[in-house]
């Protein structure tokens, strides 16, 4: 639906010559440069995680350790949608763009008018997709590029909207929701392509990353998580793992029969890109089913970091973090690209805080594993990761598959939702420190036999979750140093910190809590500088921008997501919601549903 | 649902000895004194409209013409319910109480913890009530008394909840939703009684005011709007109208046959009380149907101000403002009791800004009509009101009934939703000025024949609404002086001002706009001192309180109500929503649905 804009979009967008030229081109290599350049302008927020390196860092300094106490909301905007609001708003010129959970309405808001709606777009989608969306009906935001806003709908349609008018320029169906394939992730625009992952690991989908041409939505390449080499776009001689060529059929030979066809490996997390290497990085999720006794083998390349050539999709290197998963430790969390000291050596690193509780540091040029340390002391499923083989040393007592079929394995840490889930970390290139929102949850895990039926849950395990023994906080916000592989400081939080963090040159880190508080803390020690109780629990990411010379923070409230699924979907039984409902049941004493954007600024 | 309170409720309530004693009593005359006394403590907000006089005035002075610019939100709370949020929160000690639209969840929030939920109560109600709720599924708030919170549910159940725990103490069914009787209004507690009106004028209900004993919910009295003298609790010799006894059968003789049995006259507005006179005041709504040609006669006592003895329910005096209604000008708007100069004479006045566009000033001791002036210059259905007879001089050209059956009468002002609807005004005893949120809307009105079927709409007219010719603002916020019967100043607003106003001793008036802005203006001239864009359109009332020595404002956002019914109910046709959809269709360019409480305070 188009609403007449009040002022010319050219004025609204306030884009520089470089970008208008870029927007004028129908496609072309110029685009990557445009977004790279635009993302260096800290007044805007043009890429879902702030920049291609997924650092969620801003060079803005007005909001600082000394001024944070003067923050307050300056305007707010209800999205009109309940359930979980993940992701965060983009800011392009004077416009803000955000998307909602199903029905995935996209709003274009005018920053010159306190968020007056310039246009909105609500796709027509069959609501049958709702029950096949695992862990709430979230959408993690839109992408911008080539004068278009890209939305990955719940029903997997990727739609390109004219950024000025909201008019549909093209759309393409990326998957089949009747088979449990759904869209929840933010696309990433690089050069002439838009990349999009897929959700559905709990429905036995075949995960893949897909690149479409931004000009017309035509398929550029598609690379599966599991399957034959051509399907997974592996070059047996040149695609490497732990520094060695993977060889032929590296995926097929790790599955029993054709189980890879329902092998999961969703790609619903965040995507990063290194312009110098022309590589895109992302992770794959859990293998199907969750019952490991039904699924022998390493189940490659589930639970894997992928580095793929942007132009061709061919994998340069891979690293599987959790072979033969027995815990649902999806490997999809953000891949942070940072040139950072690791054991004293400045390194072109990829840093990844995995669901399995290990913080992985790899050489992003070649996939070599440099470090893998626990970032939550509760982690017990593995004692360590062998840096030579890359293989974790599994603790059998906490391995449901090793305990035999139908055994209820107790006190496994972390729980299935991991020491961290999709909530993206922040990294400051000034401090070289990573600021990480975490979960602090353990579980009982009881596998049961399940058969595959298209579009039906392919889970095969019953879970219950709770805090580690003797503790009562379900989350922490931590600062982490990869140089020494150590946690620098920890802020305990009542619930999982399910919000994306922001680090700035002002010396602050900002995150939100599941009970609804936006918190600004000191990068040095985590000390609270400012807190505000937003309308609902925060599972969105805090983004920042500058408008008319002033710095602002923007965050979506709206409790939900996996940790909030009990409230979001109205579940009441402890074992519903894949085990999350029980652990988080007191959440409703603190906050209620409701999607609201809050924009914060400094007092004059 | 009960949630374990963190601290003892005695501490939370922080009530004085007088009130704890009161709460300890099961019932008794002491209660009226308690609430009267409590309402004089400006740190609390214990009665829906602030005090028994419905003045919506606070003696607090911290938020003033000089400090208002330092206001900002201090905490927020999403109710988890979309659709229209009318009414406003009560504040009793350290606790805040509020209710939502259907499903009518009541929240008890702890002011010591930024609104942490102490308990919540969601009634079990059949959702079949939703389609029979005229003009959105609103609820105008709860009442407090005797240690209980009283909620009038959509399905007409009046429930008494323990204020400490949320536990149901008693409940009573006040009406029958299958016949279109619904609950939307805030109850009023006076002495040992709780009074409650009824909605359903569009469904041919029989309107009445009902008093229940607060101790156990037993019926105290019930007084109908229309019918035999005993049913309407009229004493033919002592109940007066315009200073004269009404005589026998004053209602029956103004209806054709037994049409009074489906005569409407809902009582869904606000209730006032004068402790010195022991009289309760309220108004009755439209007669059924909306087709005046089907309904000859004055249709008494629809569209009437009632003054009834609290203890017996017997009417002391009545005044019918719109005999034989042809426009749906319900007489239910708030009755403001003020000792105010009228034509130079200090008067025990009842001041009422009616939907029909006249501001009525009556002597509240005897019902004598002192003044009736238009408060919106657009009003054209009547040229004036005869102060001797009390009868309006109807302009036939704008009287649909006088134009004959099925004629589409054009450009009638005001529209059916009136120059003002339920949105309550504020009155300052310091300035003797009334601050009135108004609509500025006209209509085409086309009656059609309708027959009564229980539970089915009994409307019989098609409407379309639009601003007065040559104008484009649908609302005004005005200051009105009853001494001279004149508007003092006018703030034009894009949409109807559908929020309840607040006047304070700080010299400010506060109101909200349908597009979501909270506005603090100067009582002297309406000059804007502070504005904040809340998450959604405001149709709630702004209340104020003091906590830990600081003054706060609190308001519910959540667009909806009659003016917002298009958005709230997802209507798209211009003639749906009883004519409101077309006029307000651009509202969705400004705001979206969402129920959020915003609490404002001053910067340190």
The structure tokens 């426009």 sit at B327
Listed in sequence order, the residues at least 6 apart from B512 whose beta carbon sits closer than 8 Å to its beta carbon are: B497, B499, B518, B519, B534, B537, B538, B539, B540, B542, B555, B557
* Predicted confidence (pLDDT) per residue in A244-262, tens digit: 999 999 999 999 999 999 9
Cα–Cα distance, A84 to A100 (Å, whole number): 9
pLDDT category of residue B448 using cuts at 50, 70 and 90: very high
Q: Return the pLDDT at A73.
A: 98
Q: Return the pLDDT at B392.
A: 98
Strand, helix or coil for residue A280 = strand
Provide the total of helices (H) and of strands (E) in chain A, helices listed first.
Answer: 6, 40
Nearest-CA distance A3 → chain B (Å): 7
Nearest-CA distance B140 → chain A (Å): 20
Share above pLDDT 70 across residues of chain B, in percent, rounded to a whole number: 94
Q: Return the pLDDT at B579.
A: 86
A467 and A502 Cβ atoms separated by less than 8 Å: no
Partner A contacted by B368 (CB < 8 A): no
Listed in sequence order, the residues at least 6 apart from A230 whose beta carbon sits closer than 8 Å to its beta carbon are: none
* Predicted confidence (pLDDT) per residue in A523-554, tens digit: 999 999 999 999 999 999 999 999 999 999 99
Do A80 and B82 lie within an 8 Å CB cutoff? yes
pLDDT category of residue B139 using cuts at 50, 70 and 90: very high
Instruction: Give the closest residue to A542 by CA, choosing from A506, A580, A496, A509.
Output: A509
pLDDT category of residue A404 using cuts at 50, 70 and 90: confident
Count CB atoms within 10 A of the CB of residue A21: 12
Query: Burial code of A66-79, b = ≥16 C-beta within 10 A, e = fewer?
Result: ebbeebbbbbbbbb
Please state the pTM of the whole predicted model: 0.95
A387 and A337 Cβ atoms separated by less than 8 Å: no
Cα–Cα distance, A352 to A284 (Å, whole number): 13
Interface ipTM: 0.94
Cα–Cα distance, B165 to B110 (Å, whole number): 12
Q: Which residues of A touch B76 (CB under 8 A)?
A: 73, 76, 533-535, 596, 598
Listed in sequence order, the residues at least 6 apart from A336 whose beta carbon sits closer than 8 Å to its beta carbon are: A53, A54, A55, A272, A350, A351, A352, A425, A427, A434
Residue count (chain A) = 604
Q: Return the pLDDT at A574.
A: 60
Tokens of B291: 């087709």
Quote the strand ranges of B288-389, DSSP E: 304-309, 315-320, 336-342, 345-353, 358-363, 368-374, 382-385
Average pLDDT on B507-513 reads 98
Cα–Cα distance, A494 to A519 (Å, whole number): 14
Q: Return the pLDDT at B30.
A: 38
Q: What's the CA angle centered on A533, arms B541 and B66, to 5 degrees?
A: 55
Share above pLDDT 70 across residues of chain A, in percent, rounded to a whole number: 94
Nearest-CA distance B572 → chain A (Å): 13
Count CB atoms within 10 A of the CB of residue A484: 14
Helices (H), B25-147: 30-40
Q: Return the pLDDT at A32.
A: 41
Q: Which residues of B touch A76 (CB under 8 A)?
A: 73, 76, 533-535, 596, 598
B219 and B293 Cβ atoms separated by less than 8 Å: no
Give the DSSP letter of residue B305.
Answer: E
Strand, helix or coil for residue A229 = helix
Q: Is A406 a catalytic residue?
A: no
Q: Return the pLDDT at B134.
A: 87
Average pLDDT on A447-460 reads 94
> Is the pLDDT assigned to residue B525 strictly greater than 80?
yes
Do B80 and A536 lie within an 8 Å CB cutoff? yes
* Predicted confidence (pLDDT) per residue in A193-216, tens digit: 999 999 999 999 999 999 999 999
> Is the pLDDT assigned to residue A1 strictly greater than 90?
no
Average pLDDT on B585-595 reads 96
Q: Return the pLDDT at B18.
A: 39
- Across the interface, of B79, B117, B534, the residue whose CB is closest to A590 is B117
Average pLDDT on B445-449 reads 95
Q: For an interface test with A, which of B6, B99, B592, B604 has the most A Cβ atoms less than 10 Å from its Cβ?
A: B592
Residue count (chain B) = 604
Give the nearest chain A residue to B116 (CA atoms). Answer: A590
Query: Burial code of B169-202, b = ≥16 C-beta within 10 A, e = fewer?
Result: bbebebbebebbbbbbbbbbbbbbbbbbbbbbbb
Average pLDDT on A221-241 reads 98
| A136, A298, A328, A444: the active-site residue | A328
Nearest-CA distance A583 → chain B (Å): 16
pLDDT category of residue B578 using cuts at 50, 70 and 90: confident
pLDDT category of residue B574 using cuts at 50, 70 and 90: low
Do A590 and B116 lie within an 8 Å CB cutoff? yes
- Across the interface, of A116, A533, A594, the residue whose CB is closest to B115 is A533
Cα–Cα distance, A495 to A586 (Å, whole number): 10
- The dihedral over CA atoms of A569, A571, A574, A575, expressed in degrees to the nearest 10, equals -70
Tokens of A145: 């590029």
Cis peptide before B103 (omega within 30 of 0): yes
Cα–Cα distance, A188 to A146 (Å, whole number): 12
Nearest-CA distance A165 → chain B (Å): 13
Q: Return the pLDDT at B20.
A: 39
- The dihedral over CA atoms of B458, B464, B467, B469, expressed in degrees to the nearest 10, equals -120
Segment holding A330, helix H or strand E: none
> Is the pLDDT assigned to residue A18 strictly greater than 70?
no
Do B592 and A77 lie within an 8 Å CB cutoff? yes
Cα–Cα distance, B442 to A103 (Å, whole number): 36
Share above pLDDT 90 across residues of chain B, in percent, rounded to a whole number: 91
Angle between the B30-40 and B17-24 helix axes, to the nearest 10 degrees? 150
Q: What's the CA angle centered on B26, arms B24 and B30, to 5 degrees?
A: 75
- Phi/psi of residue A307, nearest 5 degrees: -120, 115
Q: What's the CA angle centered on B511, arms B508 and B514, to 5 degrees?
A: 160
Cα–Cα distance, A32 to A42 (Å, whole number): 17
> Is the pLDDT assigned to residue A158 strictly greater than 50?
yes
A330 and A265 Cβ atoms separated by less than 8 Å: no
Mean pLDDT of chain A: 93
Sheet holding A528-533, edge to edge: A57-58, A502-504, A508-512, A517-522, A528-533, B71-78, B596-602, B550-557, B543-547
Cα distance between the two ends of chain A: 37
Average pLDDT on A15-26 reads 39
Q: Lowest-pLDDT range, A359-368, A388-397, B580-589?
A: B580-589
Mean pLDDT of chain B: 93
Do A3 and B589 lie within an 8 Å CB cutoff? yes
* Predicted confidence (pLDDT) per residue in B266-311, tens digit: 999 999 999 999 999 999 999 999 999 999 999 999 999 999 999 9
Give the nearest chain B residue to A121 (CA atoms). Answer: B589
The residues of B that are catalytic are 328
Instruction: Give the closest residue to B390 by CA, choosing from B350, B421, B362, B418.
Output: B362
Do B77 and A588 lie within an 8 Å CB cutoff? no
* Predicted confidence (pLDDT) per residue in B340-383, tens digit: 999 999 999 999 999 999 999 999 999 999 999 999 999 999 99
Do B76 and A533 lie within an 8 Å CB cutoff? yes
Give the nearest chain B residue to A75 (CA atoms). Answer: B533
Instruction: Give the closest residue to A289 by CA, choosing from A445, A465, A498, A130.
Output: A445
* Predicted confidence (pLDDT) per residue in A95-116, tens digit: 999 999 999 999 999 999 999 9
pLDDT category of residue B34 using cuts at 50, 70 and 90: confident
B461 and B400 Cβ atoms separated by less than 8 Å: yes
The structure tokens 């010195």 sit at B276
């Amino acid at each position: 639906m188009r609403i007449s804009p009040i002022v010319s979009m050219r004025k609204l967008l306030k884009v520089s010559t470089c970008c208008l030229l870029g927007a004028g081109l129908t496609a072309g290599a110029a685009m990557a440069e445009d977004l790279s350049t635009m993302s260096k302008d800290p007044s805007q927020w043009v890429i879902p995680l702030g920049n291609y390196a997924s650092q969620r860092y801003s060079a803005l300094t007005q909001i600082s350790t000394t001024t944070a106490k003067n923050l307050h909301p300056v305007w707010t905007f209800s999205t009109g949608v309940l359930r979980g609001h993940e992701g965060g708003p983009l800011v392009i010129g004077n416009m803000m763009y955000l998307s909602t959970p199903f029905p995935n309405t996209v709003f274009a808001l005018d920053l010159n008018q306190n968020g007056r709606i310039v246009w909105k777009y609500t796709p027509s989608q069959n609501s049958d997709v709702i029950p096949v969306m695992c862990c709430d009906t979230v959408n993690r935001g839109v992408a911008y590029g080539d004068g278009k806003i890209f939305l990955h709908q719940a029903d997997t349609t990727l739609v390109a909207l004219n950024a000025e008018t909201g008019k549909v320029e093209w759309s393409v169906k990326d998957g089949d929701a009747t088979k449990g394939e759904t869209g929840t992730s933010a696309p990433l625009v690089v050069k002439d392509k838009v990349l999009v992952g897929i959700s559905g690991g709990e429905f036995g989908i075949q995960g893949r990353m897909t690149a479409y041409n931004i000009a017309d939505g035509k398929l550029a390449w598609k690379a599966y998580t599991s399957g034959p080499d051509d399907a997974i776009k592996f070059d047996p001689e040149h695609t490497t793992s732990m520094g060695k060529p993977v060889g032929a059929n590296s995926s097929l030979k790790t599955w029993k029969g054709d189980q890879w066809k329902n092998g999961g490996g969703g790609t619903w997390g965040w995507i990063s890109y290194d312009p110098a290497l022309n590589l895109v990085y992302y992770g794959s999720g859990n293998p199907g089913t969750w019952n490991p006794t039904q699924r022998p083998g390493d189940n490659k390349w589930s639970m894997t970091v992928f580095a793929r050539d942007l132009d061709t999709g061919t994998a340069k290197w891979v690293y599987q973090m959790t072979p033969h998963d027995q815990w649902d430790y999806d490997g999809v969390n953000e891949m942070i690209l940072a040139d950072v000291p690791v054991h004293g050596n400045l390194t072109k690193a990829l840093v990844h805080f995995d669901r399995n509780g290990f913080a992985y540091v790899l050489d992003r040029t070649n996939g070599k594993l440099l470090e893998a340390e626990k970032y939550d002391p509760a982690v017990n499923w593995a004692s360590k990761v062998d840096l030579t083989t890359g293989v974790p040393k599994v603790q059998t007592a906490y391995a449901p598959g090793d305990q035999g079929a139908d055994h209820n394995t107790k006190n496994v840490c972390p729980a299935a939702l991991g020491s961290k889930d999709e909530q993206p970390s922040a990294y400051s290139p000034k401090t070289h420190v990573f600021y990480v929102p975490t979960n602090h949850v353990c579980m009982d895990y009881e596998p049961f036999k399940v058969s595959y039926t298209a579009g039906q849950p392919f889970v095969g395990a019953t879970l219950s979750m709770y805090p580690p023994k003797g503790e009562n906080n379900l989350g922490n916000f931590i600062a982490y140093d990869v140089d020494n592989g150590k946690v620098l400081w920890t802020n305990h939080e009542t619930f999982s910190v399910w919000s994306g963090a922001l680090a700035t040159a002002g010396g602050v880190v900002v995150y939100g809590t599941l009970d609804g508080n936006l918190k600004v803390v000191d990068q040095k020690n985590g000390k609270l500088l400012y807190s505000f109780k937003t309308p609902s629990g925060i599972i969105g990411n805090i983004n920042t921008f500058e408008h008319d010379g002033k710095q602002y923070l923007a965050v979506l409230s709206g409790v939900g997501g996996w940790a909030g699924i009990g409230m979001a979907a109205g579940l009441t039984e402890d074992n519903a919601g894949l085990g999350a409902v029980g652990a988080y049941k007191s959440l409703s004493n603190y906050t209620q549903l409701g999607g609201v954007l809050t924009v914060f600024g400094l007092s004059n």
